[in-house]
Amino acid sequence: MREGYTTGACATAATKAATIGLLTGAIPETVTIHLPAGKDATFTLHQRCIDDGAVLCSVIKDAGDDPDVTHGAEICARVSRREPLGIELAGGVGVGTVTRPGLGLEIGGPAINPVPRRMITDVVIDAAGELLRRHGLRVEISVPAGAELARRTLNARLGIAGGISILGTTGIVKPWSTAAWRASVLQGIDVAVANGVTHLVLSTGGRSESFARRLYPALPEMAFVEMGEFTGHALKRAAARGIRMVTLSGMIGKLSKIAQGHFMTHVAGNQVDPAFLSRIAAETGADAALVAAIAGANTARHVQELARASDRPALFVRIAALVTERSRALIHDALCVETILFDFDETILARVSDGE
Using the 8-state DSSP alphabet, how is residue 317 labeled?
A: H
Q: Is the pLDDT of residue 188 over 50?
A: yes
Across residues 67-94, what is the average pLDDT?
Answer: 94
Per-residue pLDDT tens over the stretch 197-244: 999 999 998 889 999 999 999 999 999 999 988 999 999 999 999 999
So what's the pLDDT on residue 101? 86
Using the 8-state DSSP alphabet, how is residue 274 labeled?
A: H
Residue 53: pLDDT band (50, 70, 90) is confident
How far apart are alpha carbons 176 and 198 in whole angstroms? 32
How big is the chain by its Cα radius of gyration, in Å? 25
Are 324 and 354 in contact by the 8 Å Cβ rule? The answer is yes
CA angle 144, 147, 150 (to 5 degrees): 125
Enumerate the H helices of the chain as residue ranges. Answer: 7-24, 114-128, 146-150, 155-158, 179-194, 206-215, 231-240, 252-259, 274-283, 288-295, 300-309, 313-330
* Mean residue pLDDT across the chain: 92
Picking from 36-50, 79-93, 149-163, which range would have the lowest pLDDT averaged per residue? 149-163
Q: Is the pLDDT of residue 108 over 90?
A: yes
3-class DSSP string for 3-72: CEECHHHHHHHHHHHHHHHHHHCCCCCEEEEECCCCCEEEEECCEEEEECCEEEEEEECCCCCCCCCCCC
Q: Is the pLDDT of residue 268 over 70?
A: no
Across residues 17-37, what is the average pLDDT?
Answer: 95
Determine the 3-state secondary structure of 94 from DSSP.
coil
Across residues 104-124, what is the average pLDDT?
Answer: 95
Question: Among residues 35, 56, 30, which one has the least CA distance to residue 45?
Answer: 30
The answer to whether the pTM exceeds 0.85 is no
Q: Is the pLDDT of residue 356 over 90?
A: no
Q: Cα separations (Å) of 210 from 157, 202, 249?
A: 14, 11, 10
Using the 8-state DSSP alphabet, how is residue 221 labeled?
A: G
So what's the pLDDT on residue 270? 54
Residue 269: pLDDT band (50, 70, 90) is very low
So what's the pLDDT on residue 177? 63
Pairing of strands 245-250, 336-342: parallel
How far apart are alpha carbons 324 and 322 in whole angstroms? 5
So what's the pLDDT on residue 267? 42
Question: What's the number of CA atoms in the CB half-sphere (13 Å) around residue 264?
Answer: 7
